[in-house]
Amino acid sequence: MKRFIVAALAASLSLAGAVVAYAADAPKVGVVVKIGGIPWFNAMEAGIKAQGEKLGLDAFMVGPTSADPALQVRAIEDLIAQGVKVIGVVPNDAKVLEPVLMKAQAAGIKVITHESPSQKGADWNFELASSTGFGEAHAKLLAEKTGGKGEYAVYVGSLTVPLHNAWADAAIAYLKQNYPDMKLVGDRYGVAEDVDKSRSTALDLIAAHPDLKGFLAFGSQGPIGAGRAVEERRKTGEIFVIGPFSPGQGQKLIKADAIAGGFMWNPKQAGEVFVTMADRLIKGESVKEGDDIEGLGMIKPAGNDIIVDQLLAINKDTVDELAGMGL
């Protein structure tokens, strides 16, 4: 009996060793996001980890402590030093990252970006929403809520985030063409990745512009901060905050009408796509028109961009279900 137990234990240890060895040998995929610790990127991290386990990759996320391009550069340098197979990035500043992404490519590392169309230094960039479609969807909702009149302000994550600014461009152009009685306040404010800056900027704008009727906030913390300011100033139902945000984070604000609504894609799905694309590149599989890629569907690349439209509406009717998904 003892011999059987010893043999079984030895076999078990051998199997465990094999599993550890497999895990150690699994190709590494590191994804650098804009900032760590916020709900949007927490959901993305869940997608990265789950898909990594599913596909047998050592996939992980790196979240800087602030939305600082220099911290992203440092994180990418570290991943290059680790010898990862694929680096994914959600850039804070597309231009600043170009040299370090090219350095990664020169080291034989594949690079995938998200929220950064036509990114130089990337093998592929993917979007779950087209810039025009996403911007116009929010503009239409703002016009509907305001009755097509009044002043509005626009937030972006920063003035150097290409996709946020492309959304803003599309939204502003749509309102200018279709709603001449809506007037843009200033140009745009690069505060929407910081809830406190979004709130304080909104408070200043509300005080300075009596005819302010809305905020278009592109960046997950923008609607939260602006919504809190609207609530503080007791302007719910008078000033409408529109934009993408984490449903779990903004649940109370949208139910209180401090946020009027918005659209999003699923950040968990985006995390999964990072790893799915990484797996294809590691295996040398094709990424071409007509390929059916999990999370993206049938793709039609334009340059190094893969863009699909998979918008989810965030409103009182949908927010609980979306929050229940961990978003």
How would residue 21 be classed by pLDDT, with cut points 50, 70 and 90? Answer: very low
What's the mean pLDDT in 278-303? Answer: 96
Q: Which two tokens stand for residue 220?
A: 């997950």
Rounded to whole angstroms, the Cα distance separating 67 from 34 reads 5
Residues 257 and 277 both lie in one domain = no
When divided into structural domains, the chain yields a total of 2
pLDDT of residue 162: 86
In this structure, are 165 and 217 located in the same domain? yes
Give the helix/strand (H/E) hosting 269: helix 267-283
The answer to whether residue 2 is domain-embedded is: no
Q: Do 125 and 240 sit in the same domain of this protein?
A: no
Q: What percent of the chain has pLDDT over 70?
A: 93
302 in any annotated domain: yes
Mind listing the pLDDT tens digit for each residue in 84-137? 999 999 999 999 999 999 999 999 999 999 999 999 999 999 999 999 999 999
> Residues 186, 117: one domain?
no
CATH number assigned to the domain comprising residue 160:
3.40.50.2300
Q: Tell me, what amino acid is at 202?
A: A
| Per-residue pLDDT at 11 exceeds 50 | no
Q: Report the pLDDT averaged over residues 63-91.
A: 96
Average pLDDT for residues 66-89, to the nearest whole number? 97
d(CA 191, CA 195): 8
- Flag whether 168 is in a domain: yes
Share of the chain above pLDDT 90, in %: 85
Residues 163 and 259 in one domain: yes
Parent domain of 139: 131-264
Which strand (E) or helix (H) includes residue 226? helix 222-232
Q: pLDDT tens digits, residue range 299-326? A: 999 999 999 988 999 999 999 999 987 7
> What confidence tier does 25 reach under pLDDT thresholds 50, 70, 90?
confident
Question: How confident is the model over 161-186, as pLDDT tens digits?
Answer: 888 999 999 999 999 999 999 999 99
In this structure, are 188 and 89 located in the same domain? no
Domain match, 214 and 195 both: yes
Check: pTM over 0.85? Answer yes or no. Answer: no
Backbone angles phi, psi at 175, to 5 degrees: -70, -40
Binned at pLDDT 50, 70 and 90, residue 231 comes out as very high
Among 207, 241, 264, residue at a domain's last position: 264
pLDDT at residue 23, as a whole number: 53
To the nearest whole number, what is the mean pLDDT of the chain?
92
For helices 195-208 and 222-232, the axis angle rounded to 10 degrees is 50
Looking at the fold, whether 241 and 135 belong to one and the same domain comes out as: yes
What are 40's two structure tokens? Answer: 């949007």
